[in-house]
Structure 1
């Protein structure tokens, strides 16, 4: 008996994650999302296509210039005391999810180059997964106190993961990925995304914020059930 192509094709669910490298809740949300995804220990019969997209908390930040994050927060949120409260809160929240923040060392920077690196990791043939690149750059910013707006730091991080150091420096000196990252930023704006992290499922359902792992698990299971139901009635 001939089997139809439809019965051999697994439903696919897209998960588009809009976030910034210097956003503390994006790092916390990434860890919680991955924990929730790992809690799905059985095959749901669907494929999840997870893609990270660019968003800049401060697109006006001067390229190549680093500002101590406490100073940047004090300017944005109304003074040093309020900045210290926020930094302490996110540091404690991160620790609960196994992430170490050294916000006293963090250097706020323009993240356009970092987003180009994440875009590059998502291209066919990349030796590094997008999630791994995102993780390493966030670690560089939040934990290691490195200036993630410089080609030198980005090339070193990428080389640790499997990219060629010289190839990355050449890439960053070119205009490759610039138009694509700008398109992602515009896409976020046009779709009404004004805060990150935001998780968009199948380009139609958005879940904002660093939800807890169990919530992410429930959402993923619900999306899988909906996709299987739709496939069964097609």
Structure 2
């Protein structure tokens, strides 16, 4: 049986990155034992009003201080430490908040070419570890080329429609993973993901 995994997430969400990395490791284990799995990503934007002009991107730490107050650094420090224990790099000092619409569109393009997982993984690392501006078209083109995804401007309308579908479904936070019909919220452990897949 082929497992079907649907992950609703945002590239700019630290918990989504952690969930994806844990799921990625669980998938590698299951596939190494001959298991088959199909992964579908659904887009969500935690900051839909973030600037889509790359010149207006803001340092993420500054945005966090403005939105969450002086204690913002404590939660990012916890996430950074948690990630470090699992080999996931969070560099909030380099990260910039920019609109993730085009990144989600690129994942859709990559999916049509059979490379959605690789593209999502590279975009997460680009955002959280490399501090790259994901609203910048040149940056996205380079990342697509790295992963072997042929660039196209297709998919904007379909991405908008799916974002709206996710919004109207009642989802207010991510990540949410649906594995073989069972819904899991948050960054579940690798073992939990593996148990659902295998």
Question: What TM-score do you get using the length of structure 2 for normalisation?
Answer: 0.91
Distance in 1 between the 2:171 and 2:144 partners? Answer: 28
CA RMSD across the alignment: 1.7
Structure 1 residue 59: Cα displacement: 0.7
Structure 1 residue 39: Cα displacement: 3.2
Distance in 2 between the 1:154 and 1:181 partners? Answer: 16
Deviation string, structure 1 residues 193-219 (Cα, Å, up to 9, x no partner): 2111110134x4310111111111122
Distance in 2 between the 1:88 and 1:131 partners? Answer: 27
Structure 2 gap ranges (5+): none
1:159 matches 2:145: yes
Distance in 1 between the 2:129 and 2:105 partners? Answer: 21
Distance in 1 between the 2:3 and 2:76 partners? Answer: 35
Q: Contact 2:179–2:196 (CA<8 Å) still a contact in 1?
A: no
- SS of the residue corresponding to residue 71 of structure 2 reads helix
- SS of the residue corresponding to residue 199 of structure 1 reads strand
1:136 to 1:88, Cα distance in 2 relative to 1, 3 A: same
Distance in 1 between the 2:34 and 2:128 partners? Answer: 34
1:191 matches 2:159: no
Deviation string, structure 1 residues 43-99 (Cα, Å, up to 9, x no partner): 45xx4221111110011112112111111111221x2x3111111111111111111
Rg comparison, structure with higher value: 1
Distance in 2 between the 1:102 and 1:183 partners? Answer: 32
Structure 1 gap ranges (5+): 1-10, 222-234
Residues paired across the two proteins, number: 195
- SS of the residue corresponding to residue 82 of structure 2 reads helix
1:109 matches 2:118: no
1:213 matches 2:184: no
Structure 1 residue 15: Cα displacement: 1.1
Structure 1 residue 188: Cα displacement: 1.6
